[in-house]
Structure formats: C-alpha cells, structure tokens
Amino acid sequence: MFKDLFSLQGRIAVVTGGSRGIGKMIAAGFLAQGAAKVYITARKAGPCEATAKELSVAYAGECIALPIDISTMAGIDMLAAEIKKREPKLDILVNNAGAAWGAEFDEFPESGWDKVMNLNLKTPFFLTKALAAPLRAAASARRPGKVINIASIDGIFVNPMETYSYAASKSGLIHLTRRMAAKLIADHIVVTAIAPGPFKSDMNKAARDNSDEVATRVPSGRIGTDEDMAGTAIFLASRAGDYVVGATIAVDGGIVYANPGIKGDGWD
C-alpha cells in the first residue's frame, strides 16, 4: 500500500524558473523520484540549458530546457504551445518563476509594481489556464494532476523590508491557490502552494551569502536545504499529497509560526 507513496515514476512535469535556486531544487527532486521528463524554463538560455544538461546526467529521467520569458502573455502562450506540441498530457506544473523589488514607500516605482505583480501573480494564473487541457488530460480520480504555486512566507507575515509588490503578490498567490483549488478539484487537479523561508538563491542573497548569520534568526537554527524544498514538493506532487487541496505549506524552519507578526529582519 505504501511502497510507492512518494514515487513520481513516469510523470511529466513543468517547473518555471527551474534553472537555479528553488526551481532547480524541485526539478532535481522530481527526477530523483522517477519523473520521466521535467521541463524547466528561464529567461536566459545559457543557464537553463546548463541546468537541464546537469540534471539529465545526474538522474535517469530527462530534463529539458525551454528558455522562454513568461512574464508576458506572449511568453506564456509560447511556453504552453511548446508543451502541448511535445506532450498530450501533463502531470505536474510548478509555478516557481518570480521576481522581487525593493524601494522606499515614497519612491516605489510603478515599474517595480507591475514587473513583480505580473510575474508572481498574473503568470501563475494564466499559465495554469493555458496548460489546463494537458493537465486535465492526465488527471483522474486515481491519480490527480498537480499544480504547485511557489509563494513565500512574506505572503503570510509582515516583513519589514520595503518590498511592497512582492509581499502583495505572494499573499495574492496564496489566496489564488485556494480559489483555483476550489475550481480545479472537480477536474481532478489538485492545487497547492509552498511558502519558503530562507533558502540559498539569487533572490535571497542574505541566505546565499551569509547563511550562518541568517540561521541564527531561524528557530530551527539553520536555513533551508535542497532536501527540505524538494521533499515538500515531492510530497505534494506524489500520491502522498493527493488529499491536500488548496493548502499552503510554510517551509521556513518555524519563522512564521514560532513568532508571527512583524519581524526585525527580512527572511525571504
């Protein structure tokens, strides 16, 4: 009964923003658990292709680079068309691609609002919509399709860093996850979200470059590892997570729930 609980054997996945950071952790985790193909996207072709080659060598499954900028509707449509051309069915979509912008309240620019809101909130909705047909084609009551949105703990608590559009977009993504989950479960598509705390990434340079110092402010005493992020994504993507619908899981070492509210430092 429990033998293949966390297996992703033979499944097809798309991970946006999969060339580095959290996206790469998730792509690697899926391949390690038997995924047949993992498509990764990134704006820059070089890093995207390099990661795809690295992961394809490391695991039995195939990692395929699709270097497409999905911050616009044209890019979203291009990615969806490419996936549909290659795959009649899609088992897993991870909406991970994101951006951040920091500026003081009185100086915060419209460009910093629009760029972040478009990629972090608009893109997950319209990409999921664009890929609904292959997701529905793969989904069944026995083996639901999966959409996993990568939010942030900044969408749960108030981070004192002045990243207004980032916090708003991630909070919106958490609620969008609930709304899409309520709609798509009828099609046997399970929608969930992960809210990461500090992990090493280009977006979280503090955790990347000063992990020991950041770790002192995490209740668990450390920053997140590749295994922490991959493990949560594997749980949600596999049979183990089939009955988890609309939930957002904070993967943060206890930051949010050990001391909720306004913090003295930025975490994500």
Burial class (CB in 10 A: 0-12, 13-18, 19+), 152: buried
Rounded CA separation 254/173 (Å): 21
Asked if 51 and 75 count as a contact pair (C-beta separation under 8 A), the reply is: no
> Which one of the listed residues 39, 59, 164, 166 is annotated catalytic?
166
Determine whether 166 is an active site residue: yes
And the tokens for 170?
């991630």
Q: Which sequence positions are flagged as catalytic?
A: 166
